Copies of this chain bind each other. A is one copy, B any other.
């Protein structure tokens, strides 16, 4: 749970999240009715965030929306803290080879966050899916990433899952998910068996460090009309090559830290 014991800064970021979670520009009064803060306090937070460009105020409509400064900051996150720059060429060739949609994802606070995507079918790339979040307990990438979490963090992560039943095959308890996670660790890969959307299946592999921590995951997605789990499973060696190449590059990615003697 996002610790709310982080003083004023934590509270302000809570407000920012609240605006972002609406998915559309919101009025002050709408925020107020969903906020634990009193009017004046919330008002000041919203003012501060707007001054800072973290929120954008539309004076015509009197609404607040997430601000452009977030795009700038996220671009920095993408470039320096995500696997995307390393992975991009590998994803291109993987997607070409398997002729299907490829996703690159990382874990953020027990949620899946999609970092990049290659869409083999459509000639046109969807507008950036980057930053899109998804559930960990019912996606291929999510399950393979939490499978490699250390036991302490795994408990936390499982507690944060909603276990909402999307389809007939969705895991609805931590217990049943745990069983599958053991299988995933044994095999080194995992499936999405139409657990999130009917007709959509995928196979996912973790991107592992030498110490077997998952830095991220790659998945190849298809539909039950085009293939089946066995079909996807046959792609494992090809996908593993990609995952290992990315892991390898990631380990040698960071330049030696320049030593200052000022």
Binding site for B on A (CB under 8 A): 2-3, 6-10, 12-13, 16-17, 19-25, 27, 30, 33, 45, 48-49, 51-54, 56, 61, 63, 65-82, 84-85, 88, 92, 106, 108-109, 111, 113, 115-116, 124-125, 127-128, 130-133, 254-255, 257, 260, 262
Docked-complex contact B80 and A25, CB < 8 angstroms = yes
Using Cβ atoms and an 8 Å threshold, which residues of chain B touch A12? 9
Using Cβ atoms and an 8 Å threshold, which residues of chain B touch A70? 70, 73-74, 76-77
Measured between alpha carbons, how far is A131 from B84 in the docked complex, in Å? 14
Using Cβ atoms and an 8 Å threshold, which residues of chain B touch A68? 77, 81-82, 106, 108-109, 113
Can you list 6 A-B pairs, Cβ within 8 angstroms, ordered by A? A6-B51, A9-B52, A68-B77, A68-B81, A71-B77, A74-B74
Q: Of B8, B53, B67, B74, which contacts A71 at CB under 8 A?
A: B74
Counting chain B CB atoms within 10 Å of each CB, the highest count among A33, A70, A77 belongs to A77
Q: Which 5 A-B pairs have the closest CB atoms?
A: A75-B131, A74-B74, A66-B77, A20-B76, A65-B81
Measured between alpha carbons, how far is A183 from B63 in the docked complex, in Å? 34
Using Cβ atoms and an 8 Å threshold, which residues of chain B touch A7? 8, 48
Q: Of B48, B61, B66, B116, which contacts A76 at CB under 8 A?
A: B66
